[in-house]
Structure 1
Amino acid sequence: MPQLTTLSKTYDLLRFLYLDRCGFRLLSADVIPPPNVFGIKEKSSAPILIATAIFQGVLEVTAPAPFVSTVQQGLGRGKSYGCGLLSLARIKT
């Protein structure tokens, strides 16, 4: 995976890798940089650094079945470290 140097690249990568097959598209989003997450796979191994980002915005469901699966299973490779979870709320109209 390419090295990410800016949050806009994180957003672009997220759009490229996941959104089309996850049943939704982002209509607008702000990217908020939280602290990075560290983990350890095995006791004797080096720590793992997971670069994280919080996206806050509006999405549109484009395919209900893949969207429900994404909400239930999470998104991305950092799920075992608490990443990739979606918190959803309806927008007030």
Structure 2
Amino acid sequence: MYLTRFRLNTARLGARRLLSSPQNLHAAVMSSFAEIPVAADGGPRVLWRIDRNSRAETYLYIVSPDKPDLTHLVEQGGWPETGRWDTYDYEPFLSRLSAGDRLAFRLTANPVHSIRRKDGEPTKVTAHVTQRHQLEWLLQRQERCGFKVVERPAERQLVPGHDEHEVVVHDRRQLSFTKRGQKNPVTLLAVTFDGRLEVTDPDALRHTLTRGVGRAKSYGCGLMTLAEV
């Protein structure tokens, strides 16, 4: 597995076009491989995410079974003369994960649930729109994903009973695009979780980091990354 980071030059029209459409960016990411990786049953897959940091820098992160070549992205939306990307062997980090490790995490996800308005009607997938429900969505998945979000001691809670975990939900984005051959646009809600976690099941967490969390993985959701703190 490989982890790749590439900085987009948002002053360029090509970069802005890519960022305006998750479908176009997905196509650009998959074009980074001579042979498009096909995820075997439950196997590792290509995941990607856009991060915008506090210095107004925009980065593309990719996790993939094969090493990508981002030359076309440099030419289209980077710095053609000086631009580059960084690709790291992800396996040493993944293999070091141990139960009890505490790490910072970032996850951009599409938190949804299925509802049925009337008996007999088919269920409909609907986005969670409040931060409380979005956080509940994440907490419901933490055990099977191999981690638990670190709980904040009572004396450090800004609002006792409502600030129990070391996580922030932010950067809510409504993504909309039209698939080829379809008239109606596809609309997705993406949010970013930043926080601290404790590893509870290293194998399950490795699965999470290389397979993703939730839906809309082709459109920039589902990629969790970790950092030592």
Residue of structure 2 in register with 1:87 after alignment: 225
What is the distance in 2 between the residues matched to 1:50 and 1:15?
A: 21
Query: 1:9-56 CA distances to partner (integer Å, 9 max, x unpaired)?
Result: 11102222x211110111110000332222444422421211111011
Residue of structure 2 in register with 1:9 after alignment: 133
Residue of structure 1 in register with 2:148 after alignment: 25
State the AA in 2 paired with 1:24.
Answer: F
- 2:159 matched to 1:35? no
| Structure 1 or 2: more strand by fraction | 2
- 2:198 matched to 1:64? no
State the AA in 2 paired with 1:6.
Answer: T
Report deviation, 1:88. Answer: 1.2
Q: Is the 8 A contact 1:38 1:47 kept in 2?
A: yes
Report deviation, 1:71. Answer: 0.2
Residue of structure 2 in register with 1:47 after alignment: 185
State the AA in 2 paired with 1:84.
Answer: G
Q: Is the 8 A contact 1:37 1:49 kept in 2?
A: yes
Q: What residue ranges of structure 2 are gaps of 5+ in the alignment?
A: 1-113, 116-125, 151-165
Residue of structure 2 in register with 1:74 after alignment: 212
Residue of structure 1 in register with 2:18 after alignment: none
Q: What residue ranges of structure 1 are gaps of 5+ in the alignment?
A: none
Q: Structure 1 residues 62 and 45, CA, compared in 2 at 3 Å: closer, same or farther?
A: farther
What is the distance in 2 between the residues matched to 1:9 and 1:33?
A: 15
What is the distance in 1 between the residues matched to 2:142 and 2:183?
A: 33
**Structure 1 SS opposite 2:204:** helix
Instruction: State the structure with more CA Rg.
Output: 2
State the AA in 1 paired with 2:136.
Answer: D
- TM-score, normalised to structure 2, is 0.37
- Number of residue pairs the alignment of both structures matches: 90
Q: Structure 1 residues 70 and 39, CA, compared in 2 at 3 Å: closer, same or farther?
A: farther
- TM-score, normalised to structure 1, is 0.84
